[in-house]
């Protein structure tokens, strides 16, 4: 996909909207927004050639704070909206945002199918392991035993591992970042934006207001970069590192080339260029 990168060198200020972020002081989402600004500047995208699509939740306010086009959607339906935008306007760069509740609970089905379709989208999930907007309930990435308004006697469920899920569902780019490391996160986002196909970036983005377990301090003590010799093309090795709880790895776990959803459509759904003509001829004869 050709992206118009414009004719002049842009600054971070070019990507800031007039709206000031409304997150609580100390929210991890500030670091993600900072990284997104940096990534957009590195790419030097024309803001008018970018669409930010989000769902519902604290993190999903992010399109208001970016000077691109934006679509603040409905809970869990981020991916269908982003799919529609991308399919209708593949010439634009569509970036998708959400939180762990939006992505891995009500939106989990859409997430799975976006990955197996290999849509050419970048999905940034601000994962704070809690529902912040509704004042602190257990989310799919909350750990077992976690005590919240919705689990006052402790969470009886195991946490979902989004990295394992993404590799298993066929995502062609799977990475994890940390909002306290905005430059490293910006570099990951740039890699995701430059990847042809579905890029998923899970970001540890703590909610200091409602989550006193998954804190900046906890993550700072637990995270470490993936080994330099990690072979990201190997999904089994990616799953090995994704499964680790101590340490928690950051970086690109998995990346491979595969036809995108757009490629498949272009080639008549079969991967065979010649079949496209047959599909068109069949349609014309059916309706003539």
Three-state DSSP state, 96: strand
Binding site for ligand SF4 (CB under 6 A): 23-24, 27, 29, 58, 128, 132-133, 207-210
Q: How far is the CB of 148 from ligand SF4 (least distance, A)?
A: 12
**Are 55 and 44 contacting, i.e. CB atoms less than 8 angstroms apart?**
no
Q: What is the 3-state secondary structure (H, E, C) of 210-225?
A: CCCCCCHHHHHHHEEE
Q: Please say which residue, 8 or 217, places its beta carbon nearer to ligand SF4.
A: 217
Q: Please say which residue, 24 or 164, places its beta carbon nearer to ligand SF4.
A: 24
Q: Please say which residue, 102 or 187, places its beta carbon nearer to ligand SF4.
A: 102
Cα–Cα distances (Å) from 54 to 89, 128, 241, in that order, read 17, 16, 28
Give burial (CB, 10 Å; 0-12/13-18/19+) of 36.
Answer: buried
Q: How far is the CB of 160 from ligand SF4 (least distance, A)?
A: 18
Q: Kind of pairing, strands 248-255 and 173-178?
A: antiparallel
The string of DSSP codes covering 156-207 is -SPPP-HHHHHHHTT-SEEEEEETT-HHHHHHHHHHHHHSSS-EEEEEE---
Q: How far is the CB of 133 from ligand SF4 (least distance, A)?
A: 6
Identify which of 79, 77, 115, 116 has the alpha carbon closest to the alpha carbon of residue 94: 79
Three-state DSSP state, 283: helix
Q: Please say which residue, 25 or 228, places its beta carbon nearer to ligand SF4.
A: 25
Identify which of 22, 164, 6, 186 has the alpha carbon closest to the alpha carbon of residue 95: 186
Q: Please say which residue, 200 or 210, places its beta carbon nearer to ligand SF4.
A: 210
Q: How far is the CB of 185 from ligand SF4 (least distance, A)?
A: 16
Q: Please say which residue, 193 or 201, places its beta carbon nearer to ligand SF4.
A: 201
Q: How far is the CB of 98 from ligand SF4 (least distance, A)?
A: 12
Structure tokens belonging to residue 254: 């998995």
Q: How far is the CB of 134 from ligand SF4 (least distance, A)?
A: 9
């Amino acid at each position: 996909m050709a992206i118009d990168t414009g004719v002049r060198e842009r600054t971070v200020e070019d990507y800031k909207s007039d709206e000031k972020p409304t997150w609580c002081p100390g929210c991890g989402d500030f670091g993600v927004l900072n990284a997104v600004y940096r990534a957009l500047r590195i790419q030097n995208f024309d803001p008018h050639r970018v669409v930010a699509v989000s769902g519902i939740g604290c993190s999903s306010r992010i399109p208001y704070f970016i000077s691109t086009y934006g679509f603040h959607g409905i809970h869990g339906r981020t991916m269908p909206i982003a799919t529609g935008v991308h399919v209708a306007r593949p010439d634009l760069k569509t970036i998708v945002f959400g939180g762990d509740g939006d992505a891995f609970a009500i939106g989990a089905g859409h997430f799975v199918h976006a990955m197996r379709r290999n849509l050419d989208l970048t999905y940034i999930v601000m994962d704070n392991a809690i529902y912040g907007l509704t004042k602190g309930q257990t989310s799919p990435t909350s750990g077992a035993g976690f005590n919240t308004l919705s689990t006052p006697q402790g969470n009886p469920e195991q946490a979902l591992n989004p990295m394992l899920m993404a590799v298993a569902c066929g995502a062609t780019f799977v990475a994890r970042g940390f909002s306290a490391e905005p430059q490293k996160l910006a570099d990951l986002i740039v890699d995701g934006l430059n990847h042809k196909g579905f890029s998923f970036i899970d970001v540890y983005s703590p909610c200091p207001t409602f989550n006193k377990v998954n804190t900046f301090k906890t993550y700072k003590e637990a995270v470490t970069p993936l080994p330099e010799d990690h072979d990201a093309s190997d999904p089994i090795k990616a799953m090995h590192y994704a499964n680790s709880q101590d340490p928690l790895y950051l970086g690109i776990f998995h990346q491979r080339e595969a036809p995108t959803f757009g490629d498949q459509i272009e080639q008549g759904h079969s991967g065979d260029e010649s079949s496209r003509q047959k599909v068109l001829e069949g349609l014309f004869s059916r309706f003539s």
